[in-house]
């Protein structure tokens, strides 16, 4: 059962030769996760090819968020957390001994469910906060600021008030500010944990456009409860499910296939709205 | 098209207001008669009787109009309001007494003179409390410099590091905030003065005040830091910040105004401390700018000494000292309120 799952996973994301800008992608190999004695996620193997968008769908509590938090080592933020398996970034295990966890998080950025701009900083400072946090140097901060806001689709709206507080923006703008903030440290991979769940349809659409633009230059993993969203933005879709036990990945395939001809009965039930 | 006039049908009509006023007046009248013609006497009798009658009257009226549940509701409302008033009554009374008795002793000259050439029983034109104000400000400043870093670092340990010792440390900090100030004084006396310095000084007083101030600063800071959403810490870490960079750049700035409040509450806690200062500072009468040498005066010490002298002038001095001290503490509390009402974190 599990071996057939990982076969599907490997088949679904054909490896393309890596480019320098995008790296050679991110691979999860047999990832398990625990919270204390609670086994939350079992044996997930999934490839994320460079320059692709992968959507993770599935009902609440199936381990999608836990899974993406193992990818950039945010899982260990929870005191009782444990994991097993390998996460390979450019072929190197991010959990290997001696790996600097802060460097991993610089390469694998993250956008959270609720927009969380830093309250003590202005819009401009928020975008560049990653550089200060990680003590990175850049030659031209203004160019970087404009580039990141432009890529996040926010530049036109805020270019005249970069000194205003991040909290003065609307929810959708705040989320795009958080995307711009994540872009400023130039990650290869961007993880998005239900980035639109707190936003209205208009803002959601803006963020989806942003995701499509970004996927030209980076690898994106997005957790979403909105199946239309998965269909709109992603190249591949992985379906996660927990049948009372730990969450598992049931199926991964190109998005059009998942929604038109799912191989697994449970996936079909979920994407057609028969449960979940 | 007719314009619609906004109304609030749930609010009291003028008729209701007149009825309420009549009930209030009737209750007041009844209270007066009862106190006059029964053995009940005193201000407290007026206060309690008035609220008891008022609760009864509004309760009975609501009962007649709406029934039992509403009657209970309005009676309880009156009793709770009485409780709230009863709480602020002593504070207002204390402040009124201090202002009433203290203002007579307030002269410009007391802010420019010390007691080195005067005794508490001298006329008020001789001497002043400059040494006491200087002493209190110095004692508090030195205590502040020592306790704020320790207190905030303790709070950061409890909220950010969450190490093995979090529970015992939190317990000890809470226990420490209940330590009587005289115990802190005796501790410094037996641990520092007798074995080491063998002399009183302002610094010894500051050490005792530090012991008293740390738990206040640590606990308030801990509460403030706990209000900062976990999201922000995760966002900082996810951007490649180490824990220390995240705390220093995001958590502390977000909590800044709350931390200032914690410091001011700590200062207000120790500004009026008397017992340890009696034991440790030596209570000089001369302006002394050096906390490490020679006795140092302070406002609580000045008040205590003046009351002990007993003459009319001395007691007026003491009340004036109290007024100055209370105003000082009030200024601190007002600043704290002002700073804390500005948002801590979004």
One-character DSSP codes across B273-323 = --HHHHHHTB--SS----TTSS-B--HHHHHHHHHHH-SHHHHHHHHHHHH
Interface test with B, best of A73, A117, A120, A197 (most B CBs within 10 A): A120
* Together in a domain, B127 and B81: no
Closest residue of chain B to A185, computed from CA coordinates: B239
Q: Is residue A102 within 8 angstroms of chain B, CB to CB?
A: yes
Domain that holds residue B134: 111-341
Distance CA B204, CA B193 (A): 8
Class of domain A2-271: alpha beta
Distance from CA of A123 to the nearest CA of B (A): 14
* Together in a domain, B24 and B61: yes
Interface test with B, best of A76, A79, A108, A118 (most B CBs within 10 A): A118
Residue A241 has pLDDT above 70, yes or no: yes
DSSP A165: B
Residue B2 has pLDDT above 80, yes or no: no
Residue B235 has pLDDT above 90, yes or no: yes
In the prediction, which pLDDT does B14 show? 85
Measured between beta carbons, which residues in chain A are less than 8 angstroms from residue B232? 116, 118-119
CA angle centred on A178, ends A174 and A179, rounded to 5° = 115
Distance CA B78, CA B23 (A): 13
For the stretch A65-80, pLDDT in tens is: 999 999 999 998 888 9
Q: Provide the residue ranges of all domains of chain A, joining segments of one domain with +.
A: 2-271
Of B234, B240, B249, the CB nearest to A77: B234
Mean pLDDT across A220-235? 93
Domain-ending residue, one of B41, B76, B104: B104
Spatial contact of A136 and A188, defined as CB atoms under 8 Å apart: no
In the prediction, which pLDDT does B120 show? 84
Of A114, A119, A135, the CB nearest to B254: A119
Among B213, B225, B210, smallest CA distance to B155 is for B225
Residue B249 covered by a domain: yes
Among B91, B163, B289, smallest CA distance to A79 is for B163
Distance CA A152, CA A145 (A): 11
CA angle centred on B172, ends B166 and B177, rounded to 5° = 125
Cβ under 8 Å to A: B residues 180-209? none
Mean pLDDT across A215-228? 92
Residue B267 covered by a domain: yes
Of B231, B246, B250, the CB nearest to A114: B231
Number of domain units in chain B? 2
* Together in a domain, B116 and B100: no
Distance CA B104, CA B73 (A): 48
In the prediction, which pLDDT does B62 show? 85
Spatial contact of A173 and A165, defined as CB atoms under 8 Å apart: no
Residue B8 covered by a domain: no
Residue B3 covered by a domain: no
For the stretch B274-318, pLDDT in tens is: 999 999 998 888 888 888 988 999 999 999 999 999 889 899 999
* Together in a domain, B116 and B92: no
Closest residue of chain A to B161, computed from CA coordinates: A79
Domain-ending residue, one of B49, B80, B104: B104
Residue B191 covered by a domain: yes
Please answer yes or no on whether B240 and A132 come within 8 Å at the CB atom: no
Distance CA B237, CA A76 (A): 11
| ipTM summary value | 0.84
Q: What is the pTM of this model?
A: 0.80
For residue B122, name the pLDDT band (cuts at 50, 70, 90): confident
Domain-ending residue, one of B46, B74, B104: B104
Measured between beta carbons, which residues in chain A are less than 8 angstroms from residue B249? 129, 132-133
* Together in a domain, B18 and B77: yes
* CATH number for B237: 1.10.3720.10
- Give the pair of three-digit tokens for residue B1: 């098209």
Residue B1 covered by a domain: no
Distance CA B93, CA B324 (A): 17
Distance from CA of B340 to the nearest CA of A (A): 15
Closest residue of chain B to A127, computed from CA coordinates: B239
Please answer yes or no on whether B256 and A133 come within 8 Å at the CB atom: no
Distance CA B97, CA B190 (A): 38
* Together in a domain, B86 and B235: no
* Together in a domain, B54 and B140: no
* Together in a domain, B152 and B82: no
- Give the pair of three-digit tokens for residue B338: 């002002």
CB atoms within 10 A of CB A100: 11
* Together in a domain, B72 and B143: no
DSSP A23: B
Closest residue of chain B to A191, computed from CA coordinates: B238
* Together in a domain, B90 and B135: no
Cβ under 8 Å to B: A residues 127-146? 129-130, 132-135
* Together in a domain, B142 and B192: yes
- Strands A81-89 and A92-93, bridge-based pairing: antiparallel
* Together in a domain, B21 and B141: no
Coil/strand/helix, residue B255: coil
Inter-chain Cβ pairs, chain A and chain B, closer than 8 A = 76
Residue B37 covered by a domain: yes
């Amino acid at each position: 059962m599990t071996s057939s799952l990982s076969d599907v996973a490997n088949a679904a994301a054909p490896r393309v030769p890596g480019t320098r800008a995008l790296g050679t992608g991110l691979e999860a190999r047999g990832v398990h996760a625990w919270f204390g004695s609670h086994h939350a996620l079992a044996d997930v193997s999934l490839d994320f090819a460079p320059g692709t968008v992968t959507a993770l769908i599935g009902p609440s509590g199936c381990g999608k968020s836990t899974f993406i938090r193992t990818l950039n080592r945010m899982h260990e933020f929870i005191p009782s957390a444990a994991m097993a398996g390998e996460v390979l970034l450019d072929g190197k295990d991010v959990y290997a001994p001696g790996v600097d966890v802060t460097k991993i998080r610089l390469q694998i950025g993250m956008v959270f469910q609720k927009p969380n701009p830093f309250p003590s900083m202005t819009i401009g400072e928020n975008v560049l906060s990653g550089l200060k946090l990680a003590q990175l140097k850049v030659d031209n901060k203004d160019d970087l600021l404009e580039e990141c806001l432009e890529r996040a689709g926010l530049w036109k709206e805020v270019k005249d008030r970069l000194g205003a507080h991040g909290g003065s923006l609307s929810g959708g703008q705040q989320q795009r500010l958080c995307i711009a903030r994540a872009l400023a440290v130039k990650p290869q991979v961007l993880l998005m944990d239900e980035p639109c769940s707190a936003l209205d349809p208009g803002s959601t659409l803006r963020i989806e456009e942003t995701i499509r633009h970004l996927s030209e230059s980076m690898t994106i993993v997005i957790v979403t409860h909105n199946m239309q969203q998965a269909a709109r933005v992603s190249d591949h879709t992985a379906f996660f499910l927990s049948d009372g036990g730990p969450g598992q990945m049931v199926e991964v395939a190109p998005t059009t296939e998942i929604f038109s001809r799912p191989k697994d009965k449970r996936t079909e039930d979920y994407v057609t709205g028969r449960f979940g | 098209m007719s314009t619609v006039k906004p109304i609030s049908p749930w609010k009291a009509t003028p008729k209701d207001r007149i009825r309420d006023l009549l009930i209030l007046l009737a209750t007041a009248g009844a209270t007066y008669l009862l106190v006059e013609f029964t053995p009940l006497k005193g201000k407290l009798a007026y206060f309690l009787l008035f609220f008891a009658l008022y609760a009864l009257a509004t309760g009975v009226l609501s009962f007649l109009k709406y029934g039992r549940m509403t009657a209970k509701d309005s009676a309880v409302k009156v009793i709770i309001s009485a409780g709230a008033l009863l709480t602020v009554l002593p504070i207002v009374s204390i402040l009124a007494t201090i202002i009433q008795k203290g203002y007579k002793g307030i002269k410009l000259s007391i802010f420019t003179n010390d007691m080195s050439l005067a005794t508490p029983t001298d006329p008020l034109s001789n001497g002043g409390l400059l040494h006491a104000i200087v002493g209190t400000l110095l004692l508090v400043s030195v205590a502040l410099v020592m306790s704020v870093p320790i207190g905030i670092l303790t709070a950061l340990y409890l909220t950010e590091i969450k190490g093995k010792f979090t529970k015992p440390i939190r317990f000890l900090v809470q226990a420490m905030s209940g330590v009587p100030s005289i115990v802190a004084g005796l501790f410094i006396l037996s641990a520092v003065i007798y074995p080491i310095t063998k002399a009183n000084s302002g610094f010894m007083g500051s050490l005792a005040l530090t012991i008293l101030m740390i738990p206040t600063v640590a606990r308030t800071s801990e509460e403030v830091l706990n209000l900062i959403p976990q999201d922000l810490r995760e966002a900082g870490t996810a951007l490649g910040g180490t824990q220390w960079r995240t705390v220093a750049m995001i958590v502390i700035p977000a909590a800044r105004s709350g931390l200032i409040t914690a410091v001011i509450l700590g200062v207000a806690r120790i500004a009026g401390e008397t017992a340890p200062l009696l034991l440790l500072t030596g209570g000089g009468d001369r302006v002394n700018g050096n906390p490490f040498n020679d006795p140092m005066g302070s406002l609580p010490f000045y008040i205590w000494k003046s009351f002990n002298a007993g003459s009319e002038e001395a007691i007026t001095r003491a009340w004036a000292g109290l007024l100055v001290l209370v105003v000082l503490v009030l200024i601190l509390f007002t600043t704290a309120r002002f700073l804390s009402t500005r948002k801590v974190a979004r």
